[in-house]
Structure 1
């Protein structure tokens, strides 16, 4: 495993040199005992304002929550930083001999300037019968630590239900808990306490909602 990590670091450094300062490469260690510090190496961390020792992304939690045999590399999708920059990202899953996933090799390229230029060009060349479609799925937001990630997952769960907590009934709260469970939120230390408090339910009720 040490040789694998050394090679990944070598590859990350080479890609960062090849593609320049807009290209961030982060390596997450999925075998670590301290999930809150899953990033073991990063190049050009200024792109997402992260550094070695920062916490997992949503994809890391999803990976830990899923059957490794069902997981495949995710190529060329959009993410965004907390300050709104758009990144073109790819995620590679590095496996042990037994098929389990030991590392995530993540590449994020800042395309904000290209996106702005493309939008400007499209608006100039578009006709009323051929307007550019700038809609689509919202990019995933990159987080720096597990607290930010948990807050983001809670926000997404509430948005999916479509009601503020004060207006939620039992079924709505069950939906929130199950969304968070599926996303791997409860892998985060003390997440159960925060979610219970946020929803105004007991820990016992929280666990019962997870099992529904």
Structure 2
């Protein structure tokens, strides 16, 4: 069995359920998205890393006990609330992938608020969403390497991006990327090296230095 065998199923489910439903095939061996339909919902693309929840499932071996999990909350980087379910794809006792369905419920929330307001029952102020990004049963999504890199550069430099990055610049950028777990994607270093105008081995050394400093700060 190959993870690519499920690509047509992902396309079928995505087209059947419509534009408000994101369907994702996550490759556990590569640690990234293999196929995605309606990725505009979370802003992710093929190659984006596994979510925090997916990593916890792998680390805790939850997939050994269950064949699937349903009805949990997911949240995009822009705060959009999703209703999510995941099916574990196993081959000879090994987890090779996850098929995830993420339903954008924001449209239903808007409809319910409209109906309440028409009936004079609308609540004052904004509705409070249950849960936060630190909940162990909630999933947060990370965008592609390109999107994350662009976002970090804009946050650090605005419109004044330097023509040549200093060593301090590179360390700062790599630290920010590592905090977003971008280096969990196997192709991350090869993508980032030319962007920082340095070799892949240099990026690796910078990354090791960043992680060493982070470890020291936790120990002190």
Q: Pick the TM interval, shorter chain.
A: 0.5 to 0.7
How far apart, in 1, do the equivalents of 2:58 and 2:208 lie?
A: 17
How far apart, in 2, do the equivalents of 1:71 and 1:41 lie?
A: 23
After TM superposition, the structure 1 = structure 2 runs for residues 63-78 of structure 1, keeping only pairs within 5 Å, are 63-67=57-61, 68-78=63-73
Match of 2:22 in 1: 24
Match of 1:54 in 2: 48
Runs (4 or more) in structure 1 with deviation over 4 Å come to 122-128, 145-148, 187-196
Shift of 1:114: 0.4
TM-score scaled to structure 2, two decimals? 0.58
In structure 2, list runs of 5 or more residues that go unmatched: 133-137, 149-180, 186-203
Shift of 1:51: 0.8
Match of 1:162 in 2: none
How far apart, in 2, do the equivalents of 1:122 and 1:195 lie?
A: 50
Shift of 1:40: 0.8
Match of 1:87 in 2: 82
8 Å contact from structure 2 (residues 10, 37) kept in 1: yes
- State the Cα deviation string for residues 116-147 of structure 1 (Å, max 9, x = none): 2224445647699xxxx956323532222589
Match of 2:217 in 1: 201
Does the C-alpha gap of structure 1 residues 122 and 194 become closer, same or farther in structure 2, counting only changes over 3 Å? farther
8 Å contact from structure 2 (residues 49, 184) kept in 1: no
After TM superposition, the structure 1 = structure 2 runs for residues 19-168 of structure 1, keeping only pairs within 5 Å, are 19-32=17-30, 35=31, 38-67=32-61, 68-98=63-93, 100-122=94-116, 124=119, 136-138=130-132, 139-144=138-143
Aligned residues: 156
Shift of 1:196: 5.8
8 Å contact from structure 1 (residues 94, 102) kept in 2: yes
Does the C-alpha gap of structure 1 residues 197 and 71 become closer, same or farther in structure 2, counting only changes over 3 Å? farther
Does the C-alpha gap of structure 1 residues 192 and 90 become closer, same or farther in structure 2, counting only changes over 3 Å? farther
Match of 1:209 in 2: none
In structure 1, list runs of 5 or more residues that go unmatched: 149-184, 207-212
Match of 1:9 in 2: 7
How far apart, in 2, do the equivalents of 1:44 and 1:54 lie?
A: 14
Does the C-alpha gap of structure 1 residues 126 and 18 become closer, same or farther in structure 2, counting only changes over 3 Å? same
How far apart, in 2, do the equivalents of 1:120 and 1:109 lie?
A: 20
8 Å contact from structure 2 (residues 47, 144) kept in 1: no
TM-score scaled to structure 1, two decimals? 0.60
8 Å contact from structure 2 (residues 45, 144) kept in 1: no
SS where residue 131 of structure 2 aligns?
Answer: coil
Does the C-alpha gap of structure 1 residues 119 and 95 become closer, same or farther in structure 2, counting only changes over 3 Å? same
